[in-house]
Amino acid sequence: MLHTERRDTIIEILKTKDTASIHELVELTGASEATVRRDLSKLESDEQIKRIHGGASLSRRRRNEPTIAEKSSVNQWEKKKIAEAAASLLEPGECLFLDAGTTTLEMIPYLADRNLVVVTNGIPHVPLLLEKGIETYVIGGKGKQGTGALVGIKAIEALKEFCFDACFLGINGVHPVHGYTTPDPDEAVVKRTALDLAERSYVLADHSKINSITFANIGELALAEIITSDRLRDDERTNLKKYTDVKVVST
């Protein structure tokens, strides 16, 4: 047995049992005690497992990973509900702008078979849109590492050649005084341009974005309707409604 295979086996065993004794691992891998020990040392220094006297267990980091995944899937759930609500605001045959970002990505499943035309600046969005059979246009521009968004002067120019019935933006900061903000100035300009080109504008923001401020300003709250969830505190909700329309989605 290859040593990598053996180490994978050990990880698999630990995944099912959480802990295992040296003796068990010797039996299950068919290797000698010394070899298993060496493997455990290696795996521990790689932070894959934690050695304990007489055996090994999954490392805290590794064991916490599913917990983190669950936690983000809670956030994911909120985003999904917001995305679903946003998509429901569209009439058949409309033309919309879909901003780059993970929240707008979640809208895609709800856009299929509705005769919509989608324009986007998010590279990761395109394969999903095409897969769903949605008519998709991509604005041009410079690709930005990390988010895969298209930005820059070319993007702005290309964007200006469209008109939209609706525009859906992902936003990092929503604040009564500082308005909508996002960390990247290049992306901010694109978002603002899209806002101006659309008949109706919507900002998708889970509760963690409300009342936070990031670097680059896009514009005041009144420019768009905010779609958020009922995980937002009541007083914050009431406060926001002084400035613009707010749609609250129940999770």
Please give the residue ranges that form the binding site for a second copy (CB under 8 A).
2-5, 19, 21, 52-55, 57, 123-124, 126-127, 129-131, 133, 135-146, 148, 150, 154, 158, 161
> Is 35 an interacting residue with respect to DNA (CB under 7 A)?
yes
Task: Name which of a second copy, DNA, none residue 13 binds, using a CB cut-off of 5 to 8 Å depending on partner kind.
Answer: none
Say how far apart CA 143 and CA 127 lie, in whole Å.
16
Q: Angle, to 10 degrees, between the axis of helix 33-45 and the axis of helix 22-29?
A: 110
Task: Pick from 10, 43, 55, 155 the residue near DNA by CB under 7 A.
Answer: 55
Collapsing DSSP states into helix, strand and coil, what is residue 225? strand
> Is 8 an interacting residue with respect to DNA (CB under 7 A)?
no
Residue span 105-144 as binding mask against DNA, x where in contact by CB under 7 A, dash where not: ----------------------------------------
Q: Of 141 and 170, which CB lies nearer to a second copy in the complex structure?
A: 141
Collapsing DSSP states into helix, strand and coil, what is residue 232? coil
> Is 38 an interacting residue with respect to DNA (CB under 7 A)?
yes
> In this structure, are residues 205 and 227 in contact, taking their beta carbons and an 8 Å threshold?
yes
Task: Name which of a second copy, DNA, none residue 6 binds, using a CB cut-off of 5 to 8 Å depending on partner kind.
Answer: DNA
Q: Of 33 and 157, which CB lies nearer to DNA in the complex structure?
A: 33
Contacts of 56 (CB under 8 A, 6+ apart): 10, 14, 19, 20, 22, 25, 40, 43, 44, 49, 50
Q: Beta strands 55-58 and 49-52: pairing type?
A: antiparallel
> Is 72 an interacting residue with respect to DNA (CB under 7 A)?
no
> In this structure, are residues 243 and 221 in contact, taking their beta carbons and an 8 Å threshold?
yes
Backbone angles phi, psi at 4, to 5 degrees: -70, -40
> Is 37 an interacting residue with respect to DNA (CB under 7 A)?
yes
Task: Name which of a second copy, DNA, none residue 124 binds, using a CB cut-off of 5 to 8 Å depending on partner kind.
Answer: a second copy
Stretch that binds DNA, among 19-27, 61-69, 71-79, 158-166 (CB under 7 A): 19-27
Please report how close the Cβ of residue 19 comes to DNA at its closest, in angstroms: 11
> What are the angstrom distances between the C-alpha of 73 and each of 47, 53, 81, 82, 147?
24, 35, 12, 14, 19
Please report how close the Cβ of residue 73 comes to a second copy at its closest, in angstroms: 19
Collapsing DSSP states into helix, strand and coil, what is residue 59? coil
The footprint of DNA (CB under 7 A) covers 1, 3, 6, 21-23, 31-35, 37-39, 41, 51-55
